[in-house]
Amino acid sequence: MKQSHISDDGVADNSTRKLTIDQLLLESRAGLERVQPADLEREMSAGALVVDTRPAEQRERDGDLPGAVVIDRNVLEWRLDPSSPHRLPIAGDPARRIVIVCNEGYSSSLAAHTLQRLGLTRATDLIGGFQAWAALRNRPHQRNESH
């Protein structure tokens, strides 16, 4: 089955090239100002909406992301698109910084790119996802133990 691409003017373009998931991921990340795990708290303090898209099983296993709003990945666009009648009240400002967090930072890149295409131009994601954030948080503090 051949896929058709619908252009901005609503016309189907059947010449769309096929991508691998790795190519799609690189293309998606090209337009993102991705957030380092060490900077997530600063982003939150500056007013960013942090969205945890991990499935319930992963959140139960690994814990919550403090300060994040949980939105299932399968409804993310409907909950954040400012034009959607199903959007959350916190999603009213299309200029607000949004940081998407998944488990390891892959599906969040695809999701953030999609949100940008919906007009949420400051949408991005967390490099390495929840696992990178948790590893940073759980790392023992370095001590200088000179004798």
Task: Tell me the sheet residues that pair with 97.
Answer: none
pLDDT of amino acid 145 = 43
Would you say residue 92 has pLDDT above 50? yes
Identify the DSSP state of 13.
E
Would you say residue 108 has pLDDT above 90? yes
pLDDT of amino acid 9 = 61
What average pLDDT does this structure show over 121-142? 90
pLDDT of amino acid 74 = 96
Q: Using pLDDT thresholds of 50, 70 and 90, give the confidence band for residue 6.
A: low
End-to-end alpha carbon distance in the chain: 70
What average pLDDT does this structure show over 41-62? 97
Buried b (16+ CB within 10 A) or exposed e, 50-73: bbbbbeeebbeeeeebeebbebeb
pLDDT of amino acid 141 = 59
CA dist 79 and 141 (Å) reads 38
